[in-house]
Structure 1
Amino acid sequence: MYAPRIFATLDPFIEGADIMGRKVANAAFLDALARRDPFDAYHFFMPSERERQSQEGLLTARYPTLAGRGAFKVLTRQDLPAALGATDYAVFHLSDCLTAQARLAAARNALSRAIFPITGGIHSLSYAQYQRDFLAHLAPTTTRRDAIVCTSTAGREAVSALFDALRRGYGLSPEAYPAPELALIPLGVEPDDWRRLDGRERAQARAAWGIAHQATVLLVFGRVSHSSKMDLIPLFRAVQRLIASGLDVSNLVLVVAGWTDDDDPFLGTLAALAANVGLRLVLARRPDEAAKRQLFGLAEAFVSLADNPQETFGLTLLEAMAACLPVIASDYDGYRDIVAPGRTGWLLPTLGLPRSPARDVLAPLCYDNHTHLRLAQATAVSVPALAEALAAVLGDPEQARAMGEAGRERAVAQFSWDACVDRHLELWERLAAQPVPDRDRLAATAHPWTLAYGEVFVGYPSGRLNDDLRLVWTRAGQAVYHRQDFPVIYAELSREVRTEALRVLVFLARGGCPGLTLARRLAAAVPGLDEAAAVWHVLWALKQDLLEVQKEPA
């Protein structure tokens, strides 16, 4: 019999609000997965009913063909136990490895009938509290079928260093506290969304932004922030070097585009720097997708001087390459995986701190952007190398154009979203074949951070359900059984309180029955209701006065 292959996740992948690389990448991945459509069904487990309904609507609107064939099943997290127990999932893939992956592995081991692969991607890694989140991965509930998907070589090295530091700090052996595999799969770009504009389109784009046709345009695109993205002062210093060397920069135009905060004083600083240097600055605040395509199409070169540890990959570099732009980038983090120096652009040498002991101690007590700014300000991007790259763009436009063409070829060949999805499929197949510990031992092993509510808070109520208490139906319980009354069930519990189970429950208690025995009998009588859920129903019925403790005869 054919067993359907089912993909599942705890995340929506499609998010609104401000444009961030993480959100763009997550949505693009889901688009590519839906286009490739390698699974029979796709299950989404949302945190709440409201989010479940929203996700269902988003999926239907965005992927009508898949929705039309019934490929999507959108549930809530409360449905996980039943789904894990009844479904053989091919994989659970999360959009972020830090939010729930380690806990999901523990839930899988305890509740699922199969040990399926669980994977999740990295994004920014430099927030102080992330040490705690990575620690959750070092657990006896982690198996060889679990992996963190690292988008860059530098990112993978950083995660490995984080795990090493945590092992040293807590004395955790790899045997007792295994880590997930660190797989390397870069993010992607949709090549068909990008191309070089023809002469007419390019002229129209420049006219729309008030840029002369003879100008040489440098484009900087991304979150416009010196504290969370990049410092542009080295760029202005490089232009000053060009002027001092006698190079004519009168036709040079700098376009800075991306997400901005209106009250950010950095914008005024940029304008003042440009005026002091004599460089024309065009600031494009929060451009939409159409404007973004125009900006990439009207430029001669793309510049990105990442110096901030919150950067991990560099999605805009791929977009620039797909748009046939040569890239001038700092030799920093994931950037060096993307740019082929001398062929698709320039990588500018960077120097950073050898150690940061004082900052390390202070970081958990400060805002992360304050820490990031100070670390970034100690990361030096080579201004002389930047000046040389700018001079090359100005002095040899044909070479710059050839680099742009080579960049597109590289983006299409190595960094398409389709290729990204294929690499994930290969990873999931390989993980599924990995050996895992004994199934029963895994099921009995709790994650070290598991909060055992029943044990920890045992002293809060005055007693616990046991067989010394005999329970019997009440007048209200009899009315519910005869359908003369109906219990009040909160909307949030509508998926958990089973009305048919309540009728069975009160009937089983009609002559009196010990509490835990009553729960066991209920579980045996109602298909799909395990003993833990039955105990919960018994206590809920007591709370609603459908059952009561039977008084001993006088």
Structure 2
Amino acid sequence: MSETKRIWGTLDPFFEPGPVLGRRVANVRFLHALLERDPFAEYHFFLADRGQTDSLRRHLEGTGLPGTARCRYFDRRELPSRLEETDYHCFHLSDCITTQPALARLRNRHSREIFPVTGTIHSLSYANYGAPFLRHLWPGATGRDAIVCSSGPGRRVVENLFCWLRESFDLPPETPAPTLAHVPLGVDTDALTPGENRTDGGPVRLLVFGRISHHSKMDLLPLVRALHRLVSDGLDPTSVELVLAGWGDDNDDFLPTLKDYVANVGVGLTVALRPTEAEKTALFRSADIFVSIADNPQETFGITLAEAGAFGLPCVASEYDGYRDIVVPGETGLLVPTVGPDATPDVDELAPLLFDNQYHLLLSQRTAVEIPALAEALGRLIASPALRRDMGRAARTRVEKRFSWATVIEQYLALWNDLWAHPTDADALRETDHPMDMPYGRLFGHYTSRVLGPDTVLKAGRTGDAFYRGKDFPTLYSGMTMTIDPEIARKLVFLARKPIDSRTLMGKLMRVEPSLDANVVTNHLLWSLKHDILERVE
């Protein structure tokens, strides 16, 4: 591990414009917190296109964060050469699903040192995720690679995925896989702070913040049923107000139905769709209890619970997914028991043929948040301002210690350092191909009349002669500038003044240019053939 100049790399912008969703918020806040802490000499972004680069550059330049001045932006096609030239401390990806194994393969082949490659989990329940996780199980995976799980239950899902995939594909139990690390998501505890204690004497406000949809995150009807149970047992309906806020569609049929149910119970209802950050802060600071009864496997961590804790709110939450990591029952809030299936054969076979919202609805509707226990938890906190105050203070303290972004970044820094301790054999990894990466030459080589072989005889073409004398210039497309060097093509013309077989031609060029490998030279031969710089001799 290089100690002189630590460089952090990524393939992702972390910043995505669009709807305010948990994944997008978590990614951009991570990047801001990293650049605020600024532990690296440079930050290298290898992005997919110029649009991504320009968008991220503009965004970061507007933040004034300390590390922004040392951010460097590269075309992703530069990766092989940069990996050969640069000793990276680590690469971190905003999602473990898309490119992590491919990046590890590229690192194994080109980098002098096997640096850590890490990627984060988000939602894990999509029907097509078997293939992306299967890609992680391959001979080139090392202990220095890690999937970063935001919650303990999320980590267990990944463990279950690997176990299921090994069994399904008859892979040996020792098939290499990335390390599974546990680092939570964070919240900005400096910006999210408790408001003044409410003194208006109004109803107790129950805040629900998230996606307002019966097929995403949580079904809210059990909450309405629990409130109805409390009112039936004597609770004054005017003493409670339900506030629903977050992402939702104005034309969703679910919201009018929900409003009708709440009206029948008699409690007050406020709906705030797509609030701004300022409006969101005001909603949290004016609330008394935060309620989240997740029942959908899309949820993995539950960042809104950590945000509620930062605002000093006690939580009533379902005992589900990562909520267990955030809420300490009886101390920072109350967890409500849930009941679900241990097998889902009907959904398993249908899910690949359905839209995401369709099979997530089928799954969530067989996950029960126990309504009697939910009513009891709500009633207990509604009745006791002192308990709400004590739990809210404890929640704020816990979030400061465990879930502030400053704390989370320190955990990442420790993880990247610790991963270097895993032993690796770089030489054994160099030529390890990934079994799911397409070998295009092998698969499509028969499309052409012939393949370039060692005995193929070549000579300078007419364009090549003119190019060598400076009277013609080949067209080099922008997407090829990092692959083809016209000066190498010019040397090929010189070496092929007379007919010469490709084996001998390649050998002569590699003696002149020792830094070139056989693959690079072959690419130049074929490109030169394509552009009449060389021509084949029968």
Shorter-chain TM band: over 0.9
Q: Distance in 1 between matches of 2:51 and 2:64?
A: 20
1:66-465 pair list within 5 angstroms: 66-68=67-69, 71-175=70-174, 177-198=175-196, 214-436=202-424, 438-465=425-452
Per the alignment, residue 25 of structure 2 pairs with: 24
Provide Cα deviations, 1:384-428, integer angstroms capped at 9, x if missing partner: 122122222321112202211111000001111111111111111
Instruction: Report deviation, 1:527.
Output: 7.1
Provide Cα deviations, 1:54-84, integer angstroms capped at 9, x if missing partner: 334433333564343xx22211221111111
- Asked if structure 2 preserves the Cα contact closer than 8 Å seen for 1:516 and 1:535, the reply is no
> Residues 445 and 150 of structure 1: is their aligned pair in 2 closer, same or farther, counting only changes over 3 Å?
same
- Asked if structure 2 preserves the Cα contact closer than 8 Å seen for 1:85 and 1:113, the reply is yes
Q: Distance in 1 between matches of 2:377 and 2:290?
A: 11
Structure 1 residue identity aligned to 2:74:
L
Q: Distance in 2 between matches of 1:123 and 1:532?
A: 38
Per the alignment, residue 477 of structure 2 pairs with: 490
Indicate the SS of the match to 1:303: strand
Instruction: Report deviation, 1:355.
Output: 1.7
Unaligned 5+ segments in structure 1 are: 204-211
- Asked if structure 2 preserves the Cα contact closer than 8 Å seen for 1:505 and 1:522, the reply is yes
Provide Cα deviations, 1:282-326, integer angstroms capped at 9, x if missing partner: 111111111111111111111000000110000000001000111
Structure 1 residue identity aligned to 2:170:
G
Structure 1 residue identity aligned to 2:195:
L
> Residues 226 and 43 of structure 1: is their aligned pair in 2 closer, same or farther, counting only changes over 3 Å?
same
Provide Cα deviations, 1:116-138, integer angstroms capped at 9, x if missing partner: 11111111111111111111111
Per the alignment, residue 47 of structure 2 pairs with: 46
Indicate the SS of the match to 2:237: coil
- Asked if structure 2 preserves the Cα contact closer than 8 Å seen for 1:49 and 1:492, the reply is no
Indicate the SS of the match to 1:172: coil
TM (norm. structure 2) is: 0.95
Indicate the SS of the match to 2:32: helix
> Residues 54 and 489 of structure 1: is their aligned pair in 2 closer, same or farther, counting only changes over 3 Å?
farther
Q: Distance in 1 between matches of 2:378 and 2:220?
A: 14
Per the alignment, residue 58 of structure 1 pairs with: 59
Among 529, 540, 545, which residue is 2:527 paired with?
A: 540
Q: Distance in 2 between matches of 1:260 and 1:330?
A: 21
RMSD of aligned Cα (Å): 1.9
Q: Distance in 1 between matches of 2:4 and 2:509?
A: 32
Q: Distance in 2 between matches of 1:523 and 1:251?
A: 83
Unaligned 5+ segments in structure 2 are: none
Q: Distance in 2 between matches of 1:531 and 1:54?
A: 38
Q: Distance in 2 between matches of 1:83 and 1:448?
A: 25
Provide Cα deviations, 1:18-69, integer angstroms capped at 9, x if missing partner: 111111111111111111111111111112344334334433333564343x
Per the alignment, residue 208 of structure 1 pairs with: none
Structure 1 residue identity aligned to 2:4:
A
Q: Distance in 2 between matches of 1:44 and 1:523?
A: 32
> Residues 536 and 63 of structure 1: is their aligned pair in 2 closer, same or farther, counting only changes over 3 Å?
farther
Instruction: Report deviation, 1:541.
Output: 1.5
Instruction: Report deviation, 1:2.
Output: 6.2
Structure 2 residue identity aligned to 1:188:
G
- Asked if structure 1 preserves the Cα contact closer than 8 Å seen for 2:36 and 2:66, the reply is no
Q: Distance in 1 between matches of 2:507 and 2:210?
A: 59
Structure 2 residue identity aligned to 1:198:
E
Instruction: Report deviation, 1:471.
Output: 2.1
- Asked if structure 2 preserves the Cα contact closer than 8 Å seen for 1:142 and 1:179, the reply is yes
Indicate the SS of the match to 1:119: strand
Q: Distance in 2 between matches of 1:496 and 1:448?
A: 25
Q: Distance in 1 between matches of 2:119 and 2:64?
A: 23
Q: Distance in 2 between matches of 1:524 and 1:24?
A: 53
Q: Distance in 2 between matches of 1:225 and 1:392?
A: 27
Q: Distance in 2 between matches of 1:224 and 1:275?
A: 17
Per the alignment, residue 10 of structure 1 pairs with: 11
The number of residue pairs the alignment matches comes to 537
Structure 1 residue identity aligned to 2:213:
S
- Asked if structure 2 preserves the Cα contact closer than 8 Å seen for 1:305 and 1:381, the reply is yes
Provide Cα deviations, 1:187-235, integer angstroms capped at 9, x if missing partner: 1111001112236xx79xxxxxxxx761221110011111011000111
Identity of aligned residues (%): 49
Structure 1 residue identity aligned to 2:35:
A
Structure 1 residue identity aligned to 2:290:
F
Instruction: Report deviation, 1:520.
Output: 4.1
> Residues 156 and 40 of structure 1: is their aligned pair in 2 closer, same or farther, counting only changes over 3 Å?
same
Per the alignment, residue 207 of structure 1 pairs with: none
- Asked if structure 2 preserves the Cα contact closer than 8 Å seen for 1:46 and 1:75, the reply is yes
Q: Relative to structure 2, which stretch is displaced further, 278-287 or 303-312?
A: 278-287
Q: Distance in 1 between matches of 2:258 and 2:493?
A: 73
Indicate the SS of the match to 1:486: coil
Q: Distance in 1 between matches of 2:339 and 2:192?
A: 33
